[in-house]
Amino acid sequence: MAKILSQDEIDALLSTVSAGDDIGAQLVASDNLMRSVVAYDFKHPNRVSKDQIRTLENLHDNFAGNLGSTLSTIQRAMVDTELVSVDQITYSEFIMSLVNPSNTFTVSVEPLEGMCLIDFNPTLAFIFIDRMFGGVGRFLEAERELTGIERAVLTKIAMSVFQELEKTWSSVIKMQIRQVSLESNPQFVQIVPPGETVIVISMQVKMLGNSGLLTICYPYVNLESIMKDLIGKSWVDQSKKGDAELDLTTNSDNLQEVNAEITAQLGTAQITIRDFVNLKVGDVIQLDQRVSQPLEIYVRDVKKYLARPGIVGKKTGFQVIGPAEK
């Protein structure tokens, strides 16, 4: 015969099961907490917030699109430029990532202090140079430095990159990018201490089946004064303001070339149909306009100004004396 449990025994079993559930829940919560913990490297702190990184991504994504169009015109071939990444690393790590020989431009960015770097991967540099000399955009597998003529050609292409970069940053700050030097050995380029944080923009440039990397390095100390302007809302507001000013300037320039017909009305008169039919050479029609009254000037059939009649050289003309009454 099966043993029947007493009420005390049933309560004891239920309390044991409940205690086991609580322990299991605590273990699961502890495990989830450990999984959410991320190790922080105090030697390489993240000085740029995620919001500022996203703003830099948006800026340089637009830059990549505009640069592709500019390079397509220069190379007379379709050039596709794509933003790969925006990272913050130490300057020493960035220098170690560059190949040797490299094609690294040191540039000044006024009014910001310090220098920035723009690096053309050797593969990308030789593709551009070969195309500029009438080739099909092939790259050389042999590692060598550029010749004097090749450096001049690459510098010309780099100037176009500088101009597009200035336009990209114009929504945040008006800057002027000027070349300082072109180095082939990245170890000789020391613009900040090795442990300083830098923001590295990597872009992949594709042309005629080949591709290479274009890398931009901004030391954090250079951008520190404008980092507050790289917050999402602030940057969007400044972008809209910049676009509005640009649209106003563009529209004003376009209107300068529009032809407008101007008519000076001497006066008006009302006559009968009989008088109109009987008009002949030499007849005089008396106008409602007095000699002392100003003329009405119409621009595309809209009354705009008042003027006095006169003679300009050997031609009749008028002098504007003020706006017309609405």
CA distance 159 to 319: 49
Query: Residue 45: inside a domain, yes or no?
Result: no
Question: What's the pLDDT band for 17 if we cut at 50, 70, 90?
Answer: low
Q: In Å, how far are 79, 232, 249, 309 from 212, measured between CA atoms?
A: 11, 30, 37, 69
Residues 237 and 271 in one domain: no
Residues 93 and 130 in one domain: yes
- The pLDDT of residue 237 is 47
Residues 95 and 226 in one domain: yes
User: Looking at residue 227, which CATH number applies to its domain?
Assistant: 3.40.1550.10
Residues 266 and 236 in one domain: no
More reliable by pLDDT, 301 or 255: 301
Q: What is the dihedral of CA 202, 207, 211, 213, to 10 degrees?
A: -20
Residues 223 and 279 in one domain: no
Residues 235 and 310 in one domain: no
Residues 60 and 197 in one domain: yes
Question: What's the pLDDT band for 258 if we cut at 50, 70, 90?
Answer: confident
Residues 107 and 192 in one domain: yes
Residues 107 and 184 in one domain: yes
Write the pLDDT tens digit of every residue in 52-78: 888 899 899 999 999 999 999 888 888
Tokens of 309: 């009649």
- The pLDDT of residue 183 is 92
**If residue 309 lies in a helix (H) or strand (E), which one and from where to where?**
strand 302-312
Residues 238 and 272 in one domain: no
Task: Compute the chain's Rg from CA coordinates.
Answer: 37
Q: Are 93 and 195 in contact (CB under 8 A)?
A: no
Query: Residue 120: inside a domain, yes or no?
Result: yes
More reliable by pLDDT, 319 or 237: 319
From 208, 243, 278, give the residue that closes a domain: 243
Most confident segment among 43-57, 99-113, 253-267 = 99-113
- The pLDDT of residue 170 is 86
Residues 132 and 169 in one domain: yes
For residue 290, give the amino acid letter: R
Residues 77 and 222 in one domain: yes
Strand order in the sheet with 197-207: 79-90, 197-207, 210-219, 115-120, 103-110, 176-183
Tokens 């082939």 belong to residue:
184
Report helix, strand or coil for 254.
helix
- The pLDDT of residue 240 is 52
CA distance 115 to 178: 10
Residue 245 pLDDT > 80 = no
CA distance 88 to 90: 7
Structure letter (DSSP) for residue 187: G
Q: Are 205 and 81 in contact (CB under 8 A)?
A: yes
Query: Residue 43: inside a domain, yes or no?
Result: no
Average pLDDT over residues 296-325: 86
- The pLDDT of residue 24 is 56
Write the pLDDT tens digit of every residue in 162-204: 999 999 888 888 889 999 999 999 888 989 998 899 999 999 9
Tokens of 83: 């933003």
- Give the range of the structural domain holding residue 277, as residue numbers without chain letter: 262-323
Query: Residue 223: inside a domain, yes or no?
Result: yes
Query: Residue 169: inside a domain, yes or no?
Result: yes
Residue 282 pLDDT > 60 = yes
Helices (H) and strands (E) in the chain, counts: 8, 10
Q: Are 207 and 120 in contact (CB under 8 A)?
A: no
Most confident segment among 47-61, 194-208, 248-262, 287-301 = 194-208
User: Looking at residue 318, which CATH number applies to its domain?
Assistant: 2.30.330.10
Question: What's the pLDDT band for 27 if we cut at 50, 70, 90?
Answer: low
From 199, 214, 243, give the residue that closes a domain: 243
Count of the separate structural domains present in the chain: 2
